[in-house]
Amino acid sequence: MIIATKADKHDEGWRIVLYDQEAHGTGSAAPTLTHAEFHEEIDTYYQQRQLERERLYAELIEGKTSPVGFFLMLQGMDVKDVAKRMKLRPGVVRRHLTPEGFASATVEQLRRYARIFDVSVADFFWFARCSDGVSVEVRSDASGLLQLVDLSPTGQGSAGERS
């Protein structure tokens, strides 16, 4: 998992796409790009998400939670929902939220957690901090077991950060 060292700030504000059905009179919709009136709220939301990500990352590094706990809390999920999707008892999922319990998770369980959290299995085992001026592109194979990480100076890469 790539952790950015700072949240992006968009100087020009956020833009949204609106669709106008009456643009052609044919019943089809035409896109119109416009500035969002609520860009400050969007920036605040992303700043709060960045602070939450940093807090959870600190708990992970301090050994207060496991990678499963990190992703569960980051995505605002609860133990019962994850347990149901995993086809496990909630107590087993709770155990995997601790570093000690995480060590007992099987590869198959990690693969299923990865699918639920929409991450790669590798994301449970490595976290990288990405500094300013570096663009990161992370792609997973279809199985979610392998990852390709491309690092390049900002402006030369093909994608932004994934977190």
Q: Give residues with Cβ within 8 angstroms of 160, minimum separation 6.
A: 135, 136, 137
What is residue 161's predicted lDDT score, i.e. its pLDDT? Answer: 41
Burial class (CB in 10 A: 0-12, 13-18, 19+), 99: middle
Q: How far apart are CA 93 and CA 68, in angstroms?
A: 9
The rounded average pLDDT for each run of 10 residues, N- to C-terminus, in the chain (163 residues) is 54 67 67 71 83 91 94 95 96 96 95 92 82 77 71 61 42
Contact 32, 17 (CB under 8 A): yes
Q: How far apart are CA 117 and CA 72, in angstroms?
A: 7
What is residue 83's predicted lDDT score, i.e. its pLDDT? Answer: 97
